[in-house]
Structure 1
Amino acid sequence: MDLRPRVLENEFVRLEPMEERHREPLRPVADDEDIWTLMTLPGFGPHFDTWFDMMLAAQDRDQISHVVHRKSDGKVVGHSAYLLIAPAHQRVEIGWTFYAAEARRTAVNPACKLLLVGNAFDSGAQRVELKTGGKNLRSQGAMTKAGFVREGTWRSHLNTWRGERRDTVYFSVLPEEWPGVKAGLEARLSAFSRDAA
C-alpha cells in the first residue's frame, strides 16, 4: 500500500492535505462544541490550535489530514483524515471527520467518502475502517446508509475529553465490497446533482 498526501476532488468537494495555510479557514468550522462531544480531544474555541498542531504533526507519521472545500462556493466546510496508516497490513482508518452544520446531510459527506475510500483502494489498501462513538447515531446511520459493514462495538473503549467512557462502533469495507458501496454513494450524489439542476 502506497498512500501519499495529494489533492482529491470530484464535482462536489476538493480535499486538500492539511497545511498551515488552512488554520484560519478551518477554525470557524471547528468552533462548534457539539462536533467534539464524543471525541477524545476537543478542537473548538481555545482548544483549536492545540488540536490543529497535533493534526499537522501527525502528517509526518501515520496520518493524512484533509481540509474539505465545497466546490459550489469554495468554502471550507470540514475535515477528514486517513489515520493509523498501516502499509505492512494494507489497512487504513478514516476518521477525525466533521463538517459545518450547513454541510451536514448534503452531498459533502458521501462525496468525501467516495474520494477517500476510492483513493485508499487505488493505493493498495485491502481494508478501510471507520469508527464512531456508540452514542453518535447520526454517524452510524450515515455509515450504514453508505453500505459500510458494521463489525461490532468495543465496549468502554475510550475516554472522551469530557471524562466519559465511550463505546466505539466499528465499520469497514473490503475491496470486494467496494463496487457496491461505490455505486450507492454515486447514486446518492447523482440525486444531489438532479436536485441542484
Structure 2
Amino acid sequence: MNLTPQVLENDFVCLEPMEERHREILRPLAADEDIWSLMTLRGYGPYFDDWFSLMLKTQADGSQISHVVWRKRTGEAVGHSAYLVISPTNARAEIGWTWYTASARATEVNPACKHLLLGRLFDCGAERAELKTHGLNKRSQGAMLKMGAKYEGTLRRQMRTWRGDLRDTVWFSVLKDEWPAVRDGLDDRLADYSNPAAT
C-alpha cells in the first residue's frame, strides 16, 4: 500500500491535504464546541492550535494525512477528515477525525467525502479501511452503517476522552472486496443530489 497526500475531488467536495495555510480557515469552523463533545481531544477556542499542530505533526511523521473539506455547493470550507494509523505493511488505514460544521451535516458532504477517501485508499492497495467512534455517538454509528461499513464490535472503556472519562469505542470496517458494493450505495445516495455545483 502506497498512500500519499493528494487533492481528492468529485462533483460535491474537494479534500485538500492540510497545511499550515489552512490554520486560520479551520479555526472559526472548529469554534463550535458541540463538534468536540464526543472526541478524545478538544479543538475549539484555546485548544485549537494544539489540535491543529498535532494534526500537522502526525502528518509530517507519515502516520496521518489530514484534509480540509470544501463543499462545492457553497465554495466554503466545512470541516476536516483524515487517514490515520496508516499501516502500509498491513495494507490498512483508519478514516477518522471527521467533523463538519452544522450546516454541512446530514447533506451530500459526508457520503461524498467517504466516497473519495475509501476509493483513494483502496486504489492505493489497501485491503482494509477502519472507522471508529464514541459509543455515545449514535449519529456517527448510523452514518457508518448507512454507508455499508460492517460493525466489528465495541471495546469497553477503551480510550480516555478530554473530559477524563473512559469511553466505549465502536469499531467498523470496509474490506477491499466489500468496497464495490459500498461504492455503489454511495453513488446511489449522491445521485439524489442533482446539479450540486450549481445549487
TM-score range, shorter chain: over 0.9
Give CA deviations for 1:65-119 in whole Å, capped at 9, x if unaligned.
0000011222000100000000000010000000000000000000000000000
Local SS of the residue matching 1:77: strand
Aligned partners of 1:27 and 1:107: how far apart in 2?
23
1:43 corresponds to: 43
Q: After the TM superposition, which of the residue ranges 32-41 and 43-52 deviates more from structure 2?
A: 32-41
Deviation of residue 39 (structure 1)? 1.3
Q: Provide the rounded CA distance (Å) in 1 between the counterparts of 2:186 and 2:117.
A: 12
In 1: Cα distance, 2:33 partner to 2:162 partner: 12
Cα distance in 2 for partners of 1:173, 1:40 equals 23
Are 1:190 and 2:191 matched, yes or no? Answer: yes
Query: Where does 1:72-83 land on structure 2 (aligned, <5 Å)?
Result: 72-83=73-84
**1:96-111 equivalent positions in 2, closer than 5 A:** 96-111=97-112
Distance 2:162 2:48 in 1: 13
SS at match of 1:177: helix
Q: CA deviation at 1:164?
A: 1.2
Q: Secondary structure at the match of 2:96?
A: strand
Please give the root-mean-square deviation of Cα atoms over the aligned residues, in Å. 1.2
How far off is 1:194 after superposition? 6.7
Q: Distance in 2 between matches of 1:58 and 1:194?
A: 37
The list of structure 1 runs, each at least 4 consecutive aligned residues, that deviate by more than 6 angstroms after superposition, is: 194-197
Matched to 1:9, the amino acid is E
What does residue 8 of structure 1 align with? 8
Cα distance in 1 for partners of 2:195, 2:14 equals 20
Work out the percentage of aligned pairs sharing the same amino acid: 63
Distance 2:160 2:37 in 1: 11
| CA–CA separation in structure 2 for the residues paired with 1:143 and 1:194 | 25
Distance 1:63 1:122 in 2: 17
- Residue 42 of structure 1: how far off its partner (Å): 0.2
The answer to whether the aligner puts 1:28 opposite 2:25 as a matched pair is no
Structure 2 counterpart SS, 1:29: helix
| 3-state DSSP of counterpart to 1:42 | coil
Shift of 1:38: 1.6
CA distance in 2, matches of 1:82, 1:194: 29
Q: Which residue of 1 aligns with 2:85?
A: 84
Aligned residues: 197
Stretches of structure 1 lacking an aligned partner (at least 5 in a row):
none
**What TM-score comes out, normalization by structure 1 length?**
0.97
For residue 161 of structure 1, what is the aligned residue in structure 2?
A: 162
